[in-house]
């Protein structure tokens, strides 16, 4: 067995480890998730050497140039590399066109209210302490320092010792990396087993979307973008570049590293230059410098891996906005100086995407890494030949721009076609409606009392403390209104459930009394019904307002509504920023009937026409066509969007408004109100309120989560 293992190539070992890991995860199920710790150790070992290697390789690569050669080659090389980087990053922005437009919607998430990380340009790009930047993995700052250090080293006379040091350190780091690479089968096995054992089937299904889009994009870059640049902008033909570079690209793809084909790239590039009568001292020097230097810089294959960030944003249902694309392009190119093991976690954190998405990336990287390596080899050929041609002034820059334009147009068309294809081939069914409507009470409800009609207290009873009446009657009368999602609503079994219903059931259980839920048709008579004892309390996520507080009592706030906008998905991108919304020439905002919040709406949207929307379902069913968006509770809006997935609840940047929520109680019953407030505090301190919030607002239901299907549990019954 050991002899057979030694005969396998590193690539074969990794593939076998991947297949064994997936098989183990499927067989064992969730217990395979315990292997995650081994996968995390492997990831950290991968990341350990990256930034130090970037530091010494860039400094050494640039420092080896002399002043004359640097001035002759430098400008042209920088121009070519920047054009290619920008072209590839623009290509990445087209990839989301291929992601299927599946209907998705979910519960409210606390990340919607989290402040995005402030873009600190100085801290990100200008290192005051390079060692701090290294320890904090601030890749752009490390890259800038390395570039400046490398350029400065060109002018240093006695630099051989330092250059030898960078070479030796770089070689040492590469050896360390090679030692870690030997652990790749173990690391990939642990990562794939953990993922296959814990990921839901639909998550694995979505990962294949990334893989197909990635492979399509890699093919476009390899067979359209890179050879087309050479064919249109230089004397070399399309066939020549593919046939000459093919051997190196396939070798790099098979071995998993570009390093082994660098001598081949140098030799083949010089042969091709000689074939076209372009071989001279200048082009020979260009090839000798550009091939190893280009190896230290991000390649087309490396940049393509950054497309995972756009996929991850789509995957979690939070696509990057237009204003974030600029940050993605700039940061992406700079973070790509390191490995994807550093760049992907950094960008996930920067764009507030879940950190555990990196596990998905690693799972797919077993496939994508090979394509990236092959592309990197082809990239080395193209960059070298373009710069060599530029040195001899044989590059047609306008033709290069035309080639880029053709490539982007082809990519645009292919990605749209891929989107239709993937949507047709990959099965997907939106289940948000069923998920929400099937929600059950967290705990077993208490006994209920039914009233056929409203029954006020007698005049004498109305003079007594309400809490005494409730305890004597051994039941509490709770008023509720229609579809107060997710606070009080009827599920698909016609059971009254929700956040407030859960609270009141717990209240009744603590007092050892029963509960009577009484449906109320409108809010007009609420104060009267509370005062005469027809009901003792009303629920439904009621926002506390000044005028309402004049006629009823509110309990202490036990949660809050976060103001946002409920709107059609087609308008989502236009309403992401409050200041852009305020600048709209024609704008109609819907608001509930509350004068208090209508006034607030006018303050936030002074140029908008404010329209009263008494029933949110009318808006969702298209009966308020003139209304662009409704100022609404994001918590409530998220619940409605699950039932109407073509709508979204969003919080525009700059909109910061919260409305406290309380239980509605009768006037003149101070002891009753005080008791309710005391009980709410007890339930907050015990953690019960948080559990109810997590379940009904955030949709976190540990009981509903079934163990991952596995052969061991579901087939063999072990």
Cβ-Cβ contacts under 8 Å for 2 (sequence gap 6 or more): none
Pull the structure tokens for residue 499.
């956040």
pLDDT in the model for residue 715:
74
Q: Indicate the SS3 state at residue 106.
A: coil
Lowest mean pLDDT among 89-93, 260-264, 298-302, 521-525: 260-264
8 Å CB contact between 97 and 415 = yes
pLDDT in the model for residue 257:
65
Evaluate if residue 528 carries a pLDDT over 90. yes
pLDDT in the model for residue 218:
93
Cβ-Cβ contacts under 8 Å for 316 (sequence gap 6 or more): 353, 354, 357
Question: Is 158 within a domain?
Answer: yes
Main-chain dihedrals φ then ψ at residue 365, nearest 5 degrees? -70, -20
Q: What percent of the chain has pLDDT over 90?
A: 33
377: domain range? 2-427
275 and 423 within one domain: yes
pLDDT in the model for residue 407:
95
Closest CA to 666 of 476, 483, 492: 476
Q: What is the pLDDT of residues 230-272, one digit of tens each?
A: 899 999 888 888 887 877 777 676 556 676 566 677 778 888 8
Question: Is 640 within a domain?
Answer: yes
Task: Give the end of a domain, one of 427, 457, 472.
Answer: 427
Task: Give the end of a domain, one of 393, 408, 427.
Answer: 427
Q: What percent of the chain has pLDDT over 70?
A: 89
Q: Report the CATH number at residue 599.
A: 3.40.190.10
Question: Is 390 within a domain?
Answer: yes
pLDDT in the model for residue 184:
76
Q: What is the pLDDT of residues 636-662, one digit of tens each?
A: 999 999 999 889 898 888 888 899 999
Cα of 633 vs its chain's centroid, Å: 23
Main-chain dihedrals φ then ψ at residue 9, nearest 5 degrees? -75, 160
591 and 529 within one domain: no
677 and 620 within one domain: no
Q: What is the pLDDT of residues 656-679, one digit of tens each?
A: 889 999 999 999 999 999 999 999
Main-chain dihedrals φ then ψ at residue 539, nearest 5 degrees? -130, 175
Question: Is 650 within a domain?
Answer: yes
441 and 456 within one domain: yes
H helical segments located in 458-498 = 459-462, 466-473
225 and 316 within one domain: yes
Residues paired with 560 in a beta bridge: 660
8 Å CB contact between 52 and 173 = yes
Evaluate if residue 185 carries a pLDDT over 90. no
Summary mean pLDDT of the chain = 84
Average pLDDT over residues 314-321: 75
Q: Report the CATH number at residue 8.
A: 1.10.3860
Q: What is the pLDDT of residues 697-710, one digit of tens each?
A: 988 876 655 666 67
Q: What is the pLDDT of residues 567-581, one digit of tens each?
A: 998 888 788 888 889
469 and 353 within one domain: no
Say which residue, 507 or 120, is predicted with more confidence: 507
Q: What is d(CA 329, CA 158) in angstroms, rounded to the nearest whole number?
A: 38
Number of domains in the chain: 3
Question: Is 701 within a domain?
Answer: no
204 and 96 within one domain: yes
Task: Give the end of a domain, one of 408, 427, 446.
Answer: 427
pLDDT in the model for residue 537:
97
pLDDT in the model for residue 99:
87
Say which residue, 550 or 711, is predicted with more confidence: 550
Tally of CB atoms within 10 A around 28: 21
| 169 exposure class (CB count in 10 Å sphere: 0-12, 13-18, 19+) | middle
261 and 234 within one domain: yes
Closest CA to 256 of 14, 552, 525, 511: 14
Closest CA to 138 of 149, 126, 148: 126
Cis, bond preceding 486 (omega within 30 deg of 0): yes
32 and 95 within one domain: yes
380 and 492 within one domain: no
Question: Is 713 within a domain?
Answer: no
pLDDT in the model for residue 706:
63
269 and 382 within one domain: yes
541 and 420 within one domain: no
pLDDT in the model for residue 114:
61
pLDDT in the model for residue 700:
84
Question: Is 69 within a domain?
Answer: yes
pLDDT in the model for residue 124:
65
Question: Is 278 within a domain?
Answer: yes
Q: What is the pLDDT of residues 155-180, one digit of tens each?
A: 888 888 888 888 898 788 778 877 77
Lowest mean pLDDT among 114-118, 464-468, 472-476, 523-527: 114-118
Q: What is d(CA 551, CA 458) in angstroms, rounded to the nearest whole number?
A: 21
Pull the structure tokens for residue 250.
């396939």
């Amino acid at each position: 067995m050991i002899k057979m293992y030694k005969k396998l190539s590193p690539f074969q070992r990794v593939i076998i480890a991947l297949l064994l890991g997936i098989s183990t995860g499927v067989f064992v199920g969730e217990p395979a998730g315990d292997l995650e710790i081994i996968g995390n150790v492997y990831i950290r070992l991968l990341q350990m050497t990256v930034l130090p290697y970037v530091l010494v390789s860039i400094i050494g690569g640039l420092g080896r140039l002399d002043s004359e050669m640097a001035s002759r080659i430098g400008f042209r090389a920088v121009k070519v590399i920047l054009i290619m980087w920008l072209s590839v990053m623009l290509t990445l922005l087209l990839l989301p066109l291929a992601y299927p437009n599946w209907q998705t919607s979910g519960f409210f998430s606390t990340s919607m209210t989290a402040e995005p990380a402030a873009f600190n340009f100085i801290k990100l790009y200008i290192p005051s302490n390079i060692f701090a930047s290294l320890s904090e993995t601030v890749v752009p700052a490390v890259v800038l320092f390395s570039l400046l250090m490398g350029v400065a080293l060109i002018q240093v006379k006695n630099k051989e010792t330092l250059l030898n040091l960078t070479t030796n350190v770089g070689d040492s780091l590469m050896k360390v990396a090679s030692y870690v690479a030997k652990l790749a089968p173990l690391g990939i096995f642990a990562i794939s087993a953990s993922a296959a054992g814990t990921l839901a089937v639909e998550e694995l299904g979505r990962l294949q979307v990334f893989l197909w889009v990635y492979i399509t994009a890699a093919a476009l870059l390899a067979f359209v973008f890179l050879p087309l640049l050479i064919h249109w902008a230089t004397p070399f033909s399309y066939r020549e570049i593919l046939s000459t570079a093919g051997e190196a690209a396939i070798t790099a793809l098979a071995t998993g590293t570009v390093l082994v084909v660098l001598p081949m790239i140098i030799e083949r590039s010089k042969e091709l230059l000689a074939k076209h009568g372009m071989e001279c001292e200048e082009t020979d020097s260009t090839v000798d410098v550009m091939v190893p230097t280009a190896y230290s810089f991000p390649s087309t294959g490396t940049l393509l891996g950054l497309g995972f960030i756009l996929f991850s944003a789509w995957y979690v249902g939070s696509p990057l906005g237009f204003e974030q694309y600029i940050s993605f392009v700039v940061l992406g190119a700079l973070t790509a100086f390191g490995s994807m093991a550093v760049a992907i976690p950094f960008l996930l954190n920067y764009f507030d995407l879940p950190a555990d998405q990196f596990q998905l990336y690693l799972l797919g990287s077993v496939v994508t890494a090979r394509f990236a390596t092959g592309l990197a080899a082809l990239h080395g050929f193209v960059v070298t030949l373009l710069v060599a041609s530029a040195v001899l002034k044989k590059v047609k820059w306008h033709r290069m721009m035309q080639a880029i334009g053709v490539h982007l147009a082809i990519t645009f068309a292919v990605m749209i076609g891929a989107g239709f294809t993937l949507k047709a081939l990959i099965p997907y069914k939106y289940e948000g409606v069923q998920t929400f409507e099937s929600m059950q009470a967290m705990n077993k409800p208490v006994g209920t009392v039914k009233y056929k009609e409203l029954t006020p207290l007698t005049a004498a009873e109305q003079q007594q403390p309400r809490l005494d009446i409730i305890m004597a009657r051994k039941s509490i009368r709770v008023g509720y209104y229609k579809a107060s999602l997710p606070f009080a609503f009827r599920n698909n079994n016609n059971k009254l459930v929700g956040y407030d219903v859960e609270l009141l059931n717990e209240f009744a259980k603590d007092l050892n009394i029963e509960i009577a839920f009484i449906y109320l048709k409108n809010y007009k008579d609420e104060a009267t019904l509370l005062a005469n004892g027809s009901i003792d309390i009303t629920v439904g996520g009621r926002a506390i307002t000044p005028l309402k507080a004049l006629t009823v009592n509110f309990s202490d706030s036990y949660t809050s509504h976060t103001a946002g906008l409920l709107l059609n998905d087609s308008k989502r991108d236009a309403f992401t920023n409050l200041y852009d919304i305020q600048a709209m020439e024609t704008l109609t905002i819907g608001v509930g009937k509350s004068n208090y919040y209508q006034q607030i709406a006018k303050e936030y949207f002074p140029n908008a026409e404010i329209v009263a929307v008494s029933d949110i379902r009318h808006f969702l069913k298209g009966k308020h066509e003139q209304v662009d968006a409704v100022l609404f509770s994001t918590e409530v809006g998220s619940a409605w969007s699950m039932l109407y997935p073509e709508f979204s609840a969003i919080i525009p940047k700059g909109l910061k408004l919260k409305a406290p929520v309380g239980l509605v109680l009768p006037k003149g019953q101070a002891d009753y109100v005080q008791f309710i407030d005391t009980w709410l505090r007890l339930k907050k301190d015990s953690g019960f309120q948080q559990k109810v919030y997590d379940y009904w607002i955030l949709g976190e239901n540990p009981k509903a989560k079934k163990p991952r299907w596995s052969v061991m549990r579901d087939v063999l019954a072990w």
